[in-house]
Amino acid sequence: MENPLSVLAAHAAEWRTRPLTPELERHARRALVDWFAALLAGASRPPATLLAAALEDETRGGGGAVCYVSGRRVPLRHAALMNGLASHIVEFDDIYRYAVYHPGCPTIGAALAAAQVRGTDMAALLRAMVAGYEVSGRIGRAVQPSHYRYWHTTGTVGTFGAATAVAVLLGCDAERTAHAIATAATMASGLQQAFRGESMSKPFHPGHAAEAGALAAMAAAKGVTGAPDVLHGPAGFAAATSEDTGKWEQALAGIGRPFAIADMTFKNHGCCGHIFAALDAIRDLQREHGFAAAEVDGVLVGGYRATKDICDRPDAATEQECRFSVQFTGAMMLVHGGVRLAAYEEARMKDPAVRALMPRIRVEVDPECEAAFPTRRSAKVEIRLKDGRVLRRHQPTRKGDPDAPLSDEDLSEKFLELAAPAVGAQPARALLEQLWRGTTLPGPVPLLGAGPRAAAE
């Protein structure tokens, strides 16, 4: 078997100059629009505001990258950390389902910072994003599904996306790109236990991945070397974080066909993606049969194991817990017809109708759904009504997946819904236009309100 690190680095290095096709450019811009929507919605919330306050003294010297949390120009690594972290907070970030992974947060978080420091144009940023998504997505495929038993892929594999994208923007050849990826491997981290309970740790995973990957690329650009067999060796990344030394031949087959960035899921609900198929089924059954939430006697959700292990939370109370609760989000869908940012307002989370329905929703592992994971994120939903009717739906995929995609118009609407409250309607529309069609990089976008320091205090 050819060394997977060499294959991936050679592919990545091509993107220093390789032109984007119009279709691939569109997919990369879609990812950028989606990332900025999640970033701006999360930038004025903890833990981003708290970390900005904690690190304030370290950013007084300025720099060339934009921290969208503080609005300041800061060094590359600080911007990568803060923007990678902020873009994961509201759980609206993109998904590469084959790797069980949110590539945008760490990859774009680091790539945009590097592009701003280097003074490149939009085309260079988009090329680096394509490379970062592809390399990290392939590594993620090699270690799944067993990797996801203990590790949060966005924190681990995301480090490779950041390292690759920054290496491309720094002009690293294949050899130095390989060293960037290799060094990133030994700094990758992110434990699932961090988000199985109440904590602020989860967004730190992509933030750390963005910063660590950027550091690895910056070091490699100056000659720092990494272990050439670190991905597939007997004590390497795959061996340490999955059941074997990696499914490399399968993961690398047909690299770039299709590109990972052209095969993305963009979220249509503001919660954990492992709940989406169930929410789609609940929504469609309610629309088709016209029943009210008060008519529901019980709901049974059959899903794959991650749905049960991570999202079976019948007593969810805090915002963090509710974002990972089938019971809360399912009840919210039945009562209010959607699970967007408004679902996590205090009044909505305490809504008596939602709370009364939550104990009636059960979650179990369905063998067919489990067997299809991670290629398909499916659910089987059974709704029992008080009049005796039993309604069933097998939801084989999710709205927003590549086989049921959000349109460009859907993404624009999502962007404006998330970004306009954060920065104002006109700035949001101007930024959206730049992201879809602009040739220059976006700069600072001031947040509305009192700002991160006041919010942190």
Q: Is 179 in the same domain as 284?
A: no
Q: Is 253 in the same domain as 319?
A: no
Please report whether residue 268 resides in a domain.
Answer: no
DSSP reduced 3-state for 84: helix
Please report whether residue 448 resides in a domain.
Answer: no
Q: Is 36 in the same domain as 82?
A: yes
pLDDT at 61: 79
Indicate the residue among 214, 230, 262 that finishes a domain: 262
pLDDT at 99: 96
pLDDT at 456: 32
Contact 304, 369 (CB under 8 A): yes
The single-letter DSSP state of residue 447 is P
Q: Is 323 in the same domain as 362?
A: yes
Q: Is 203 in the same domain as 307?
A: no
Q: Is 173 in the same domain as 301?
A: no
Indicate the residue among 262, 291, 318 that finishes a domain: 262
Q: Is 125 in the same domain as 152?
A: yes
Q: Is 211 in the same domain as 149?
A: yes
pTM of the model: 0.93
pLDDT at 339: 96
Please report whether residue 409 resides in a domain.
Answer: no
Q: Is 119 in the same domain as 219?
A: yes
What total number of domains does the chain contain? 2
**Domain holding 243: CATH number?**
1.10.4100.10
Please report whether residue 211 resides in a domain.
Answer: yes
Token digits of residue 155: 């924190």
Integer distance in angstroms from the first to the last C-alpha of the chain? 55
Of 188, 340, 321, 348, which is closest to residue 269 (Cα–Cα)? Answer: 340
Please report whether residue 165 resides in a domain.
Answer: yes
Q: Is 165 in the same domain as 230?
A: yes
Contact 401, 390 (CB under 8 A): no
Q: SS in 3 state form for 126-184?
A: HHHHHHHHHHHHHHHHHHCCHHHHCECHHHHCHHHHHHHHHHHHCCCCHHHHHHHHHHH
Indicate the residue among 262, 283, 303 that finishes a domain: 262
pLDDT along the chain (457 residues), means of 10: 96 98 98 98 97 91 94 97 98 96 98 98 98 98 96 98 98 98 98 91 98 98 98 97 94 94 96 96 97 98 97 94 97 97 94 98 98 94 98 96 96 97 97 98 87 33
Burial of 10 (0-12, 13-18, 19+ CB in 10 A): middle
What DSSP string runs through 398-443?
-TTSTTSPPPHHHHHHHHHHHHHHHH-HHHHHHHHHHHHH-SS---
In angstroms, the CA 169 to CA 167 distance is: 5
Please report whether residue 300 resides in a domain.
Answer: yes
Please report whether residue 367 resides in a domain.
Answer: yes
Domain that includes residue 81, residue range: 4-262
Q: Is 321 in the same domain as 300?
A: yes
Q: Is 179 in the same domain as 236?
A: yes
In angstroms, the CA 304 to CA 30 distance is: 28
Please report whether residue 336 resides in a domain.
Answer: yes
